[in-house]
Chains A and B, each alone.
Chain A
Amino acid sequence: MSAPVEIRYNGGGTIAPPPEETFVLNLGPQHPAAHGVLRILMRMDGEYIASSDIVIGYIHRMHEKMGENRIYAKFLPNTSRIDYLAAMHYTHAYVGAVERAAKIEVPLRAEYIRVIADELQRIASHLVGWGAWIMDLGGLTPILYAFEDRERILDLFEHICGARLTYCYYRFGGVCNDVDDEFLRGARDFVPYMRGRLKMYRDLVTDNIILRKRLEGIGIMDAEMCRRYGVTGPVLRGAGVAYDVRRAEPYSLYPKFQFDIPHFPQGDSMARYLVRMEEMEQSLRIIEQALDQIPAGPVMGKIPRVLKLPAGDYTYAVEAGRGRFMVRIVSDGKDTPWRLKLRTPCFGNLAPFEEASKGMILPDALALLGSLDLVIPDIDR
């Protein structure tokens, strides 16, 4: 505590508070900033954070253990609930891992449906992250506009699988229901509508001078810090590293689509913000291309009645809304996995917070926390 801490904004300077002059502020498991059950113990010198300690585990639900206790098919509902905002991605990773291990063929139409659903899910997830973050900063209106767009996406999902948040839509070998023309039309209409909305968000929020002053230069996490903590996703791309699992470890049909990987070198909260807005635009591009190319055909491949994976170690990684989500299945030949490991992105994304928030003033630290776009159940699984 007596080590000097640098104040990094608006003038600089150092603070070196003796321990008896600091107090502990507990950003408790319950707080109105919509992150989830996360506890941060911040040792404060007046308004500056001298150090912080993160306490997680309040929502540890033992998903990995549940996976190891059940046959492969019975874990499907859990996958939607690990990170409920990126449910399609997580189910995709699990289903992909099992298919890769058991060498199950997925029909082409099912792959296209999966890509469309994944990209719609990415847009929906970014809308929530963006809206909640702006709400933390005091702009209480954009979250409601974001939720109106999200309603359209959720209506599309409800049309194909009947659920709005926890889908359980993918199965081993494909998807459980075919999509009809109404969904394809709805998805096609959604793209220009969303483009118009993205333009509105740019005018209303991104270009807003108050927001820019709030985010530019705040919470700088450079590429080297991100590498040390295992950060992935928009947080890493906001630090200038163009790492996207869809290009680095291509899966599904992504090699067929043309899309850019938005990345900005500044590493501050504004860069992470811009990465997310650009990613929504790129997702719309992918959806358009997928809708153009989707073939007719079956949506479910052949799977054995009792699914037993051959013994071995299988992984499958996807680019979820928040970063790289990887499923690792270690199988010993039985019909339940020996080990099911879920590598979730938010755990790595939260890790640099302790170092990045040293010397920050409290509201800026909260803006930084919002820019990491955390879903706490994803950290605790």
Chain B
Amino acid sequence: MSAVAAAKEVLLGFKSLLVGMRITLGQFFSPKITVQYPRETLKMPERFRGHIRLVLDPETGASRCTACKLCERACPSECISVDGVKLEGAKTKSVTEYHLNFTTCSLCGLCVEACPFDAIEFSKTYNAIGVSRSEFDNMDMVRQLAGRREVWLQNHPLPPAAPAMPAATAAPAKSAAPTLPPTPETKTP
């Protein structure tokens, strides 16, 4: 091409390089967007999908789950297994075993939507760790609920002769997961 066009291309090209360099220099002096985990953490939004867990009813301190197994049927990965017994004097069954195989769960939420009693919800645990697979492929939701119930009982002492949580069945307990450490208190960045 002609010399003038070539010269123009060189000059415009060089100018584009300088414009680009100015942009990166602007970014150089901008604040860093990295959140230095684990010293700083992010706040999880309300609808964050951690693994599912049984809901602790704030009035009764027990689970609303009636072991109807709708969640078990809704799950595409067949990772939930539920069992329950009907106590005397109760209208519906109460859940005694609720096991989640988190290694196959895809966090799709079909179980949460299928539940007619709002008995399961997503937890906010994003940093679950464990040292062996058994801590994840057989998560014992009933035992975790019992842990949270202990905390609830401190603020809501039971009146005498209140119905207790159903004990586990006589079947040999499967190896249950220990309660996961609580998610650390977050601070917004």
What CA separation (Å) do A54 and B85 show in the bound complex? 58
Partner of B110, one of A76, A151, A166: A76
Residue of B nearest to A139 (CB): B20
Whether A44 sits at the interface, judged by CB under 8 Å, is: no
Contact-size category for A: 20 to 34
Which of B44-52, B135-143, B148-156, B170-178 contacts its partner? Answer: B44-52
User: B77's closest neighbor in chain A, by CB?
Assistant: A77
Stretch of A125-133, A155-163, A280-288, A356-364 lying at the B interface: A155-163
Chain B residues with Cβ below 8 Å from A160 are 47
Cβ of B23: which chain A residues have Cβ within 8 Å of it?
200, 203-204
| CB-CB nearest in chain A for B12 | A209
Interchain CB contact (< 8 A) of B113 among A70, A162, A176, A203: A176
Among A158-216, those with CB < 8 Å from B are 158-163, 166, 168, 171, 176-177, 200, 203-205, 207-210, 212
* Interchain nearest-CB distance for B13 vs A (Å): 3
Assign chain B's interface to a size class.
Answer: 20 to 34
Of B12, B47, B77, B106, the residue contacting A166 (CB under 8 A) is: B106
Among A74, A148, A207, A212, the residue within 8 A (CB) of B33 is A148
B186 close to chain A: CB less than 8 A: no
Q: Contact: A208 with B17, CB < 8 Å?
A: yes
Q: Indicate if the CB atoms of A162 and B74 lie closer than 8 Å.
A: no
Partner among B12, B16, B106 whose Cβ is within 8 Å of the Cβ of A77:
B106
Query: What's the Cα separation between A81 and B183 when bound, in Å?
Result: 28
Name the residue of chain B whose CB is nearest to the CB of A81. B106
Once A77-B76, A200-B23 are accepted as A-B contacts, the answer to whether A210 and B17 lie under 8 Å apart by CB is yes
A-chain residues with CB within 8 Å of residue B122 when the two chains form the complex: 162
Asked whether B17 lies within 8 Å of A163 as measured between CB atoms, the reply is no
Contact of B27 among A73, A145, A177, A207 (CB under 8 A): A145
Contact code string A276-306 (vs B, CB < 8 Å = 1, else 0): 0000000000000000000000000000000
A162–B76 CB distance below 8 A:
no
Contact between B48 and A207, CB atoms less than 8 A apart: no
Return B87 CB to nearest CB of chain A, in Å. 29
A160→B74 CA distance, assembly (Å): 22
Interface: A258 (CB within 8 A): no
> Any chain B CB within 8 A of the CB of A75?
yes
Contact partner of A162 (CB less than 8 A), chosen from B48, B75, B77, is B48
Cβ contact within 8 Å between A208 and B49: no
Nearest A residue to B13 by beta-carbon distance? A209
A10 at the interface (CB under 8 A from B): no
What's the nearest-Cβ distance from chain B to residue A216, in Å? 12
* Chain A: CB-nearest residue to B110: A73
Task: Find chain A residues with CB under 8 A from B13 CB.
Answer: 209, 212
Enumerate B23-59 residues with CB–CB distance to A below 8 Å. 23-24, 27, 33, 45, 47-49
Q: How many Å lie between the Cα of A264 and that of B4 in the bound state?
A: 27
Say yes or no: is B107 at the interface (Cβ < 8 Å to chain A). Answer: yes
The reply on B14 being an interface residue by CB < 8 A is yes
Residues of A within 8 A of B109 (CB): 162, 168, 176
Q: Contacts A204-B23, A208-B17 given: A159-B45 contact, CB under 8 Å?
A: yes
Q: A74-B110, A77-B77, A210-B17 are in contact. List 20 more A-B contacts (CB 8 A).
A: A74-B74, A74-B75, A75-B76, A76-B76, A160-B47, A162-B47, A162-B109, A162-B122, A166-B106, A168-B109, A171-B113, A203-B16, A203-B19, A203-B23, A204-B20, A204-B23, A207-B16, A207-B19, A208-B17, A209-B16
B residues sitting closer than 8 Å to A (CB atoms) are: 9, 12-14, 16-17, 19-20, 23-24, 27, 33, 45, 47-49, 74-77, 106-110, 113, 122
Between-chain CB contacts (< 8 Å), 10 pairs = A70-B76, A76-B76, A76-B110, A78-B76, A158-B45, A158-B47, A161-B47, A166-B106, A171-B113, A207-B20
Chain A positions within 8 Å of B, measured between CB atoms, are 70, 73-78, 141, 145, 148, 151, 155, 158-163, 166, 168, 171, 176-177, 200, 203-205, 207-210, 212
